[in-house]
């Protein structure tokens, strides 16, 4: 995941002085084939170990890290 961040905060993270990051609680998904967009609000965020995920996700090579961020999304309004 790549997140743009202002230099001031980047430097604080680099120096080890900033250990938390806050962002708006929505994600805009863009369909790779059509370019269609949908915005969903995030209800909750958690960490999942890749080994505990269903095979339909892990067997497709979607993730590189051992810890995966899970976003629980609200229904489309």
Domain assignment of residue 55, yes or no? yes
55-77: average pLDDT: 85
Structural domain includes residue 2: no
The residues with which 27 forms a beta bridge, in sequence order, are 40
Does 1 map to a domain? Answer: no
Specify the number of domains making up the chain.
Answer: 1
- Prediction pTM value: 0.72
Distance CA 36, CA 34 (A): 5
Listed in sequence order, the residues at least 6 apart from 18 whose beta carbon sits closer than 8 Å to its beta carbon are 9, 12
Mean pLDDT for 17-39 is 94
Confidence of residue 32 (pLDDT cuts 50, 70, 90): very high
**Domain-embedded: residue 42:** yes
pLDDT-above-70 percentage for the chain = 97
Q: CA 12 → CA 3, 22, 25, 26, distances in Å?
A: 15, 14, 23, 25
User: Which domain covers residue 21, as residue numbers?
Assistant: 7-73
């Amino acid at each position: 995941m790549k997140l743009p961040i202002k230099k001031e905060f980047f430097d604080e993270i680099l120096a080890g002085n900033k250990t938390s990051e806050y962002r708006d609680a929505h994600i805009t998904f863009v369909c790779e084939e059509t370019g269609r967009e949908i915005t969903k609000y995030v209800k909750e965020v958690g960490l999942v170990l890749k080994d505990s995920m269903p095979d339909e996700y892990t067997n497709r090579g979607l993730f590189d890290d051992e810890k995966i961020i899970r976003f629980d999304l609200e229904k489309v309004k």
